[in-house]
Amino acid sequence: MTDKQYSNKSKNRITQKRKWDERRKKSKSRSLSAYAKKRLNDGNVSLYLDMYYRGARKKEGLKLYLVPETDAAAKLQNRNTRKLAEQIKAQRILDIQEKGLVNWEDVKKARMTLSTWVAKYTAEENGLSPASMRSKRNAQARVEEYLLYIGKPTLALKEVDKDFCKGFIAFLKTCTFNQGKKTLSSTTCRIFMNRLAAALNKAVSEGLIDRNPFKLLETKEKPQKLNAMREFLTIEELRQLMATPCRYDIVKKAFLFSCFTGLRYSDMMTLKWSEIHKAADGKTLYIEHQQVKTKNTVTIPLSNEALKWMPRKSKDEERVFHQLRITSTTVEVVLGEWMQKAGIQKHITYHCSRHTAATMLLTLGADLYTVSKILGHRSIRMTEVYAKIVDKKKIETMNLVNNMFV
């Protein structure tokens, strides 16, 4: 080979290498590499995307993992995982072509569906009671049902508007439960609406949407709070109950105890002997108990009537009403039977014992503030409802003389 031939060959190699480098650089600048792998200490392999665009590089963890292929199930799982990684990669290529290398968290937030956001909001406990968490989950289920009903299960969060909110409210009013036998009450509709509205408020605070469309609705377009009838027992009806045997004596004791203390069912069930104390006078007993629903601590002096229905203290049991082992549903059935036997035609549930305590105390002359504290109300306005009931009963009583002297 002559010097000239060698020189030409060398030049060709340099030119070829330059072309190859330029082609590789060009490819890097406009494309997304295949998903990369990182082996973890536990034997799994973490997948991530390694992206190049116009000289910039960015990595994104996928939170997807390949497991050791020890059996057919593991192989199938890995195959599905790889398929999902490829789908994400394809989406990112489109994203890069449209927006370049950006903060993918912002992109994912902008693409977030309502269903995903509500699920995320529902999962946050923030010290809520089990009952409140159950309410959040029920509301989430109704949102998902509505999305399926309108044929938009993947509706984007940013697409939720005033019409969607109005449609959701209308849907709630037609929802049924108990195998289609019952519809949701106005109160339940309002609670579910408020749960979704709260989720959207949080979306606003986190910059996912500009405003909460529920705030665009007029008051008349929202489920209204009804002034529910608070059923209660009169003093004469209490006497009838005391004289009437009950199928479960422990149910009778618990219900009458709550009539004289105002304790909710949940508080009666969790009341401990250690929460019953003796007052400074050495005679009066009182309850100091943290309410299950509100977490407020109430102090309730025990009258002689309340003490009559309190079970005897057991050495081996911490709960006062430990003998009450039937379900709350069965308790309501037993109460219904007991009321019928006593000749009381009202629809009385266990919670009516609390209403009975409030109205009885106010009827006997107790002031609103004291009754409010005994019941553990956060605001005296809640207790005023019972005062209105007592006033109404007074008017009805006075009207009994009408037409008697015509």
**Which pLDDT tens digit goes with each residue over 198-219?**
999 999 998 888 899 999 998 8
Q: What pLDDT score does 132 carry? A: 81
Tokens 């890069």 identify what position? 96
Report how far residue 171's alpha carbon sits from residue 375's, in angstroms, rounded to the nearest whole number.
36
Q: Which letter does DSSP use for residue 113 in this model?
A: B
Task: Please say whether the beta carbons of 24 and 74 come within 8 A.
Answer: no
| Confidence grade of residue 383 (pLDDT, cut at 50, 70, 90) | confident
For the chain, what are the domain ranges? 32-110, 114-221, 235-401
The CATH code for residues 114-221 is 1.10.150.130
Q: What pLDDT digit, counting tens, does each position of 71-96 carry?
A: 988 898 889 888 888 888 888 777 77
The dihedral of CA 79, 83, 84, 89: what is its sign? positive
At 215, the amino acid letter reads: K
Task: Please say whether the beta carbons of 304 and 297 come within 8 A.
Answer: no
What length does the chain have?
Answer: 406
What the block records as the tokens of 4 is 């000239």
Report how far residue 124's alpha carbon sits from residue 320's, in angstroms, rounded to the nearest whole number.
34
Task: Please say whether the beta carbons of 199 and 135 come within 8 A.
Answer: no
| Class of CATH domain 235-401 | mainly alpha
The mean pLDDT value for 366-373 works out to: 88
Percentage of the chain beyond pLDDT 70 is 80
What the block records as the tokens of 262 is 């105002």
Give pTM, 2 decimals. Answer: 0.51
Report how far residue 319's alpha carbon sits from residue 370's, in angstroms, rounded to the nearest whole number.
27
